[in-house]
């Protein structure tokens, strides 16, 4: 009965087809395989820094839910002035990827433009006169997405953190911002003194202390702070020891700064669904760790940066969307909750020219509004509205 | 994938219509030649008969009729191929088929399917005019072939052509009918209309003696039976959204969603009303509708598997009814909305079912009527030349098949020639940027330094043809694309490249250092292109050159990149401007980039030839 045999063959063939289509049905299901999820604390680029000529701030504007229509602005408030101007035109390129700011006493202000779209390296611009004249440089690779990716050292060198993850690389320039050499990589840090106790899986920022480069790394080992300082022909892990209560989470070095007495750092520790932040100050080789600032679940960090001489501010958003601002002045005080800044606050400018006020910069599409918090006041007061002419679609 | 152009781009549509017109004239010529040849052969047959003193030859009377099932398949699928060929002539086909027809289907399929489909889609998007015109003539040719060549090897060859082209369309045009995608269902046309064209082609290609028994009909019905049972199982499978019209939280059921999408397709109002009514009905009674579909498919499948004439008749009637209902209420006739290329799967499926049934029962009835199986007759034997002048039927089939093959080749040959080139059709760039303009003036001179710090001037490049453009080294969109287009044009030049210099002049007023140029070259991997020169100089000198070459450069506000004109020039070996090209990459797809490179390479070659 050949017809019966062929009929069975057809049935078998079609059975295989059904199995194949069954596979197709399931093809849309999410796969279970993959690398373990590493939770990391976001490091927003929106921030502000003070320089001898004034205060610089960067924040995203435009249609911030569309990467190619998000344009980062570079605002400047000259020393002694009370209003801000937009200096982003000095970048002479699209800023969709974000800006990274750096300066130091006696050093120019430098802004690095992060890669975006088809641009994969980072142009740099610098000024010593508050943006009246600009010079430029170029990094051969793209700046990392950390606010500490650039650092101007007091000895005239400039440090830059390029690439990301295990490919992260710290470059150094001795003069021209166009000539760079590799200083250290994330991989080589693991082999340095103290590297094994940290197991760095990425570099998160660069700084310098008395001309010596310092690198912040994210350690795979819980409770270990990955601050590495160059000296004695190599790199040595330095950094505070965290209290036991914070020692169970992985530590991220969010930002570092030079203080009058040494180095300081803002550290983030992942704790379950929330985040704990601590500041740490080094003086004469001894570290002091602040109390912790706890951010609840669903409350992302919007901005952080320097607050005054040796302190830090942290602008965050609660799960309900309200903004929250905390600041710490130095090693001997606690975090202070300041009056909640207005909605849409993107960053805070401490130590502005009008030293009596703290300013919150809010962004809504093409409008940047400045709100001031007079000293001793509990209310934010609108002090400036600045419209930015954004060319939507110009990066498409 | 795609071209980034609007589907109704006038340049492409005009070129498509022009191609159809010219190829249509060739088709008319082929038909005329076929007619004249046939007439000449007929005259020859008459003269030979007259000289032999016998009656004019006529088709052998003893030849039995063509199997009804085969005739049904041949004529119906011939008409469908003709209809499909006409649908392929829609103005939106060249640019619309890939993004609107092929990609959405492939996107839901596994990666390997997307890779396969992309290969065909790339060929189409690189040569949209030739591809769309080829589809028109190939399908019309196959349709005519099936219709007018009823018997013999030439007719079976037509079946094979239907099978072969059908497979091409099924794989590359329908992404395997979507059978590897997650939403496979009989209701939406699985396993793809063209697979039934393939099945019909394969059956037509069978030797005619096969049709003398009920076996092909039995096999066809049993295969269909397995198919329908499998589709019933899939339809009943839980969690696929068919068991409800409205799922929880207001999410629309799968069938309701599909019908809703079809109702929104541009179409006559009466049709959208029908489809809209069914959408509302399914939204309210989704469970019942799916139960009916599952039971109907399972019952039809079981009946076909039995392959008994009486049961099969009921199943065929049921199949035709549910197919027509699905065609109208779910598939919405399949060809409205701009890039519909066929009437979808229900009609072809019903036709194959009917043909299978006819093939099952007809041989018995023919035997009852005393019709003998097909045998070779006297006039069917001998060499083809002999039969051509002695057998009018053979002569007609022979000439008609040749004419049909000619029509297929009218479309296939230009497409094959175009596809042999790895470069996209220049017309895509014409659609984006317009045609290059010729110039006859001295090129403004320059004296700059290249990315290595060496001085380069226009006089120092005399003797070389120059492709010149202006690029911003820190540009985030167009400039990297233009640089790659230049590099590709260089590769297209082959041996001519040694006589050409690719020159870019810095178009950013702030980033004018050679280090900026080196970073750009490194990013774009241009360091190893021997004839690539990226030049910069003092800002005043750069501004003078921008003005001289008509390049508008300006700071943009709000964090946008430097705005500058995208322009390219071709300068001959004596330093004279010969061509100016708009170098705006437009949608910057692989097709438009390749097309610009081809246009630039052609302009350079033309300049070299004219220097």
**Interface predicted TM-score of the whole assembly (ipTM), two decimals:** 0.88
Q: Which residue from B218, B477, B511 is facing A123, i.e. has the nearest CB?
A: B511
Taking an 8 Å cut-off on Cβ atoms, the answer to whether B558 and A72 are in contact is: no
3-state secondary structure of A78: strand
Residue A201 pLDDT > 60, yes or no?
yes
Q: Which residue from B108, B509, B558 is facing A391, i.e. has the nearest CB?
A: B558
Distance CA B121, CA B259 (A): 27
Residue B536 pLDDT > 70, yes or no?
yes
Burial string for A321-346 (b: 16+ CB within 10 Å, else e) reads: eebbbbbbbbbeeebeebeebeebbb
Q: Which residue from A72, A89, A96 is facing B557, i.e. has the nearest CB?
A: A89
Q: Could you tell me if residue A282 is inside a domain?
A: yes
Token code pair at residue B581: 């090209």
Distance CA B326, CA B350 (A): 11
Residue closest to B312 by CA, chosen among B364, B260, B272: B364
CB atoms < 10 A from the CB of A392, how many? 16
Chain B residues close to A7, C-beta within 8 Å: 222, 305
Burial string for B379-402 (b: 16+ CB within 10 Å, else e) reads: bbeeeeeebbbbbbbbbbbbbbbb
Residue A193 pLDDT > 80, yes or no?
yes
Cβ contacts below 8 Å, chain A against chain B, sum to 157
Residue A10 pLDDT > 60, yes or no?
no
Residues contacting residue A205 through CB under 8 Å, at least 6 positions apart? A146, A147, A148, A149, A151, A161, A215, A216, A253, A254, A255, A256
3-state secondary structure of B240: coil
Report the mean per-residue pLDDT for chain B: 90
Q: Could you tell me if residue A53 is inside a domain?
A: yes
- What's the sign of the alpha-carbon dihedral B259, B263, B265, B268? positive
> What is the secondary structure of A107-133 as a DSSP string?
S-EEEEEPPBTTB-SEEEEEESSTTSS
Helices (H), B343-474: 346-369, 384-390, 392-420, 426-433
Q: Which residue from B223, B226, B556 is facing A394, i.e. has the nearest CB?
A: B556
Q: What is the pLDDT of residue B339?
A: 65
Give the count of domains, chain A.
1
Residue closest to A94 by CA, chosen among B507, B557, B484, B554: B557
Contact B568, B482 (CB under 8 A): yes
Chain B residues close to A365, C-beta within 8 Å: none
Q: What is the pLDDT of residue B341?
A: 78
Please, which pLDDT band fits residue B405 given cuts at 50, 70 and 90? very high
Please, which pLDDT band fits residue A34 given cuts at 50, 70 and 90? very low
CATH of the domain at A239: 2.130.10.10
Q: Could you tell me if residue A3 is inside a domain?
A: no
pLDDT tens, residue by residue, A356-373: 579 999 999 999 999 999
Q: A98 to chain B: nearest residue by CA?
A: B559
Please report how many Cα atoms fall inside a 13 Å half-sphere around the Cα of residue B400, on the Cβ side. Answer: 22
Q: What is the pLDDT of residue A332?
A: 81
Distance CA B321, CA B292 (A): 13
* Domain that includes residue A66, residue range: 15-387
Q: Could you tell me if residue A395 is inside a domain?
A: no
Q: Could you tell me if residue A394 is inside a domain?
A: no
pLDDT tens, residue by residue, B207-225: 988 988 999 999 999 999 9
Token code pair at residue A298: 């669903």
Decide the pairing of beta strands A169-173 and A181-185.
Answer: antiparallel
- Please report, to the nearest 10 degrees, the dihedral formed by the alpha carbons of residues A161, A335, A73, A343 taken in order: 140
Taking an 8 Å cut-off on Cβ atoms, the answer to whether A62 and B510 are in contact is: no
Taking an 8 Å cut-off on Cβ atoms, the answer to whether B560 and A391 are in contact is: yes
For residue B55, which phi and psi values (nearest 5 degrees)? -70, 155
Distance CA A386, CA B7 (A): 42
Distance CA B203, CA B208 (A): 10
A326 alpha carbon, distance to own chain's centre: 17
Q: Could you tell me if residue A367 is inside a domain?
A: yes
Decide the pairing of beta strands B500-506 and B465-471.
Answer: parallel
B538 touches chain A (CB under 8 A): no
Q: What is the pLDDT of residue A296?
A: 78
Looking at residue B67, what DSSP letter applies?
A: P
Residue closest to A18 by CA, chosen among B180, B378, B174: B180
Burial class of residue B6, CB neighbours in 10 A (0-12, 13-18, 19+): middle
Q: What is the mean pLDDT of residues A176-199?
A: 92
Q: Could you tell me if residue A83 is inside a domain?
A: yes
Chain B residues close to A96, C-beta within 8 Å: 476, 559
Q: Could you tell me if residue A223 is inside a domain?
A: yes
Looking at residue B462, what DSSP letter applies?
A: T
């Amino acid at each position: 009965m050949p017809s019966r045999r062929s009929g069975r063959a057809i049935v078998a063939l079609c059975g295989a087809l059904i199995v194949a289509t069954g596979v197709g049905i399931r093809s849309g299901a999410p796969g279970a395989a993959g690398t373990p999820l590493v939770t990391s604390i976001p490091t927003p680029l929106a921030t502000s820094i003070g320089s001898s000529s004034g205060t610089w701030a960067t924040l995203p504007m435009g249609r911030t839910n569309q990467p190619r229509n998000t344009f980062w602005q570079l605002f400047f408030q000259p020393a002694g002035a009370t209003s801000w101007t937009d200096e982003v035109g000095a970048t002479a390129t699209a800023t969709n990827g974000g800006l990274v700011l750096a300066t130091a006493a006696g050093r120019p202000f430098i802004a690095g433009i992060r890669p975006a779209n088809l641009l994969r390296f980072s142009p740099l611009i610098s000024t010593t006169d508050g943006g009246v004249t600009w010079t430029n440089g170029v990094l051969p690779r793209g700046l990392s997405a950390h606010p500490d990716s650039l650092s101007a050292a007091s000895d005239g060198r400039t440090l830059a953190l390029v690439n990301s993850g295990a490919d992260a690389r710290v470059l150094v320039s001795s003069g021209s911002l166009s000539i760079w050499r590799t200083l250290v990589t994330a991989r080589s840090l693991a082999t340095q003194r103290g590297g094994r106790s940290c197991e760095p899986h990425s570099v998160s920022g660069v700084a310098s202390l008395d001309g010596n480069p310092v690198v912040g790394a994210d350690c795979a080992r819980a409770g270990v702070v990955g601050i590495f300082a160059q000296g004695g022909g190599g790199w040595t892990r330095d950094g505070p020891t965290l209290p036991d209560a914070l020692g169970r989470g992985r530590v991220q070095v969010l930002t570092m700064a030079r203080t009058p007495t040494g180095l300081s750092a803002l550290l983030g520790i992942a704790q379950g669904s929330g985040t704990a932040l601590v500041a740490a100050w080094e003086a004469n080789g001894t570290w002091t760790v602040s109390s912790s600032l706890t951010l609840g679940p669903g409350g992302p960090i919007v901005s952080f940066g320097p607050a005054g001489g040796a302190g830090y501010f942290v602008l965050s958003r609660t799960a309900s969307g309200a903004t929250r601002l905390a600041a710490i002045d130095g090693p001997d005080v606690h975090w202070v909750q300041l009056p909640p800044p207005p909605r849409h606050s993107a960053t805070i400018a401490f130590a502005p020219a009008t030293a009596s006020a703290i300013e919150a910069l809010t962004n809504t599409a093409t409008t940047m509004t400045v709100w001031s918090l007079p000293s001793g006041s509990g209310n934010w007061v609108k002090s400036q509205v600045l419209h930015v002419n954004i060319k939507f679609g110009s990066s498409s | 994938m795609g071209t980034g152009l609007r589907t109704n781009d006038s340049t492409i549509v005009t070129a498509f219509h022009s191609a159809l017109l010219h190829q249509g004239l060739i088709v008319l010529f082929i038909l005329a030649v076929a007619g004249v040849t046939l007439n000449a052969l007929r005259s020859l047959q008459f003269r030979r008969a007259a000289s032999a003193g016998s009656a004019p030859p006529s088709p052998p009377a003893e030849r039995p009729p063509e199997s009804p099932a085969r005739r049904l398949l041949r004529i119906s699928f011939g008409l469908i191929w003709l209809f499909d060929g006409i649908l392929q002539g829609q103005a939106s086909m060249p640019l619309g088929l890939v993004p609107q027809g092929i990609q959405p289907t492939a996107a839901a399929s596994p990666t390997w399917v997307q890779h396969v489909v992309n290969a065909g889609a790339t060929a189409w998007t690189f040569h949209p005019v030739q591809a769309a015109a080829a589809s028109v003539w190939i399908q019309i040719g196959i349709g005519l072939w099936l219709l007018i060549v009823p018997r013999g090897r030439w007719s079976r060859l037509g079946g094979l052509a239907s099978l072969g082209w059908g497979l091409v369309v099924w794989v590359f045009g329908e992404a395997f009918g979507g059978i590897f995608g997650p939403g496979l269902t009989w209701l939406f046309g699985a396993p793809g209309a063209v697979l039934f064209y393939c099945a019909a082609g394969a059956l037509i290609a069978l030797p005619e003696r096969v049709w003398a028994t009920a076996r092909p009909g039995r096999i066809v019905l049993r295969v269909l039976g397995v198919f329908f049972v499998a589709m019933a199982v899939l339809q009943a499978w839980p969690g696929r959204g068919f068991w409800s019209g409205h799922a929880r939280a207001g999410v629309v059921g799968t069938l309701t969603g599909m019908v809703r999408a079809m109702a929104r397709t541009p179409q006559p109002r009466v049709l959208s009303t029908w489809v809209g009514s069914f959408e509302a009905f399914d939204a309210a009674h989704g469970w019942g509708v799916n139960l009916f579909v599952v039971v109907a498919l399972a019952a039809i499948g079981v009946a076909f598997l039995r392959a008994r004439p009486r049961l099969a008749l009921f199943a065929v009637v049921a199949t035709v009814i549910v197919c027509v209902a699905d065609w109208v209420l779910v598939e919405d006739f399949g060809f409205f909305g701009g890039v519909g290329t066929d009437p979808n799967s229900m009609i072809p499926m019903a036709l194959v079912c009917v043909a299978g049934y006819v093939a099952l029962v007809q041989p018995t009835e023919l035997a009852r009527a005393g019709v003998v199986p097909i045998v070779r007759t006297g006039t069917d034997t001998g060499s083809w030349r002999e039969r051509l002048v002695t057998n009018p039927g053979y002569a007609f089939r022979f000439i008609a098949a040749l004419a049909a093959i000619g029509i297929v080749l009218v479309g296939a040959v230009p497409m094959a020639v175009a596809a042999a080139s790895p470069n996209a059709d220049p017309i895509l760039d014409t659609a984006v940027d317009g045609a290059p303009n010729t110039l006859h003036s001295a090129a403004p001179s320059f004296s700059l330094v290249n990315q290595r710090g060496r001085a380069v001037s226009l006089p120092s490049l005399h003797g070389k043809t120059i492709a010149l453009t202006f690029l911003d080294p820190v540009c985030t969109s167009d400039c990297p694309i233009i640089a790659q287009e230049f590099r590709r044009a260089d590769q297209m030049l082959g041996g001519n490249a040694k006589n050409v210099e690719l020159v870019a002049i810095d178009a950013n007023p702030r980033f004018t250092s050679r280090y900026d140029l080196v970073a750009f070259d490194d990013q774009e991997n241009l360091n190893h292109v021997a004839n690539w020169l990226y030049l910069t100089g003092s800002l005043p000198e750069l501004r003078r050159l921008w003005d001289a070459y008509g390049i508008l450069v300006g700071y943009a506000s709000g964090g946008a990149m430097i705005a500058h004109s995208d322009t390219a020039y071709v300068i001959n070996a004596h330093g004279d401007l010969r061509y100016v090209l708009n170098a705006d990459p437009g949608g910057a797809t692989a097709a438009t980039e390749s097309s610009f490179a081809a246009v630039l390479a052609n302009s350079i070659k033309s300049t070299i030839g004219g220097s």
